[in-house]
Amino acid sequence: MPAEAVEPEFIHSIYGLSLRANRPLPGFSQVPSDSKIDLRVWLFPNAPLGEAAQGSMDAHVDEGEEEIRYISPWTGEFGIPLLTLHQLRGPGTYRLRYDDGTQFLIDPAGTEIRAWWPAETSFEDTVTYLSGPVLGFVLHSRGILNLHASAVDVGGRALVLLGPAGAGKSTTAAAFARQGFPVLTDDLTAVLECENGFSAQPGYARICLTPEATQSFYGRADALPEIAPNWDKRSLELGAPTTGGALGARFASQALPLGAIYVLGDREEGGSAHKVEPLDPQEGLKFLLANTYMQYLLTPEQRAREFPIIARVVAQVPLRKISPAGGAERLAELCGVLAEDFAREA
């Protein structure tokens, strides 16, 4: 009789978690096969719901068996909410359902993820969800602080750029990359508490840029590949520290001590100079609480659990506010100002 087929396994690391997947995950760091596994990930193309729900997360997912925890106020092309979060009443398993039909099942402890997607979308689309919102949700489930922030390696410490969507986190990180600074993570920064303070964890090895930012950096809006077939953002791939990506952008693949957090303020188009100033601890606490990643999915208990962690970050890590002057033409200058200030504060 023929030997039973063995499901392939691929070991990766991201945001301080080691995960085992049934498919290789582009942009995720590879780690040795004997690494301790924190998370299992199964991905099923065009799979029916029943198949994706097999195994230790076996559950009935009829609408009557679920409680809706969150519905996005924004709708997609067909008038369906962009994201709906369900929780199964029995086992407590979460289901994230996107408007394009992509769905994820996540166990309550954040140790298993099962994903499937319809024929109209793609594996790349699913990995884009996985690397951002889904893993952000998992980090919260595991009690790990994750900030809506990008981070770069400046002198062996993490310079963190914090702010809401559209604040310029990714664009500023890309400007740092163009000056030779390795980028640790884009948009989501996982923060772990350690014996000597806090460390920022490496994320996905790319920076997502708008077509406008791509145009300003590289002369054409389509100079970089799309991050996935159904997304309009562009992907600046980050390479090894010695070689860099296709455009020389480097990836910081190891966790770094958290040096300082810079809150991106409003841009002063007519300003003559970039303004950097310290943040009052109370104001800093408010900024960090307002800019944890995917915070709208958190339960009151999860919010209460992360509050003392954020309070300790505020007490131990320098918090600064940056008000950039001018537009994209002054980003290189902005990076210089930030790097000089960081050298004094971190």
Grouped pLDDT means (10 residues each) for the chain, 346 residues? 58 96 94 91 74 41 74 90 91 91 94 93 95 96 95 98 92 96 97 94 96 94 92 91 78 97 82 88 94 92 93 97 88 95 91
The helix/strand/coil state of 344 is: helix
Backbone torsions φ then ψ of 198, nearest 5 degrees: -130, 150
**What single-letter amino acid sits at 36?**
K
**What single-letter amino acid sits at 76?**
G
Burial environment of residue 154 by CB neighbours within 10 A (0 to 12, 13 to 18, 19 or more): buried
Q: Which CATH class, in words, describes the domain spanning 145-345?
A: alpha beta
Backbone torsions φ then ψ of 58, nearest 5 degrees: -55, 125
Residue found under tokens 């969507």: 165
- pLDDT for the residue numbered 1: 36
List Cα–Cα distances, 67 to 57, 93, 109, 136, 203, in angstroms.
Answer: 17, 11, 18, 21, 31
Tokens of 55: 């195994």
User: Order of strands across the sheet with 29-30?
Assistant: 29-30, 10-14, 17-21, 39-45, 112-117, 103-106, 94-98, 83-88, 66-71
Tokens of 144: 């790990």
Q: Is the pTM of this model over 0.85?
A: yes
**What single-letter amino acid sits at 307?**
F
**Sequence ranges of the domains in the chain:** 48-141, 145-345
CA torsion angle 325 163 174 254 (round to 10)? 140
Residue found under tokens 């990359």: 177
Nearest to 43 by CA among 109, 119, 130, 101: 130
- pLDDT for the residue numbered 138: 97
- pLDDT for the residue numbered 92: 87
Sign of the Cα pseudo-torsion (261, 224, 17, 252, in order):
negative
- pLDDT for the residue numbered 48: 54
Q: Beta-carbon neighbour count of residue 302 at 10 Å?
A: 15
Instruction: Please state whether 326 falls in left (phi above 0), alpha (psi between -120 and 50) or beta.
Output: left
- pLDDT for the residue numbered 270: 63
- Strands, E assignment, 144-299: 145-154, 157-162, 183-185, 188-194, 197-200, 206-209, 234-237, 256-264, 275-278
What is the spatial distance between Cα 320 and Cα 307, in angstroms, rounded to a whole number? Answer: 20
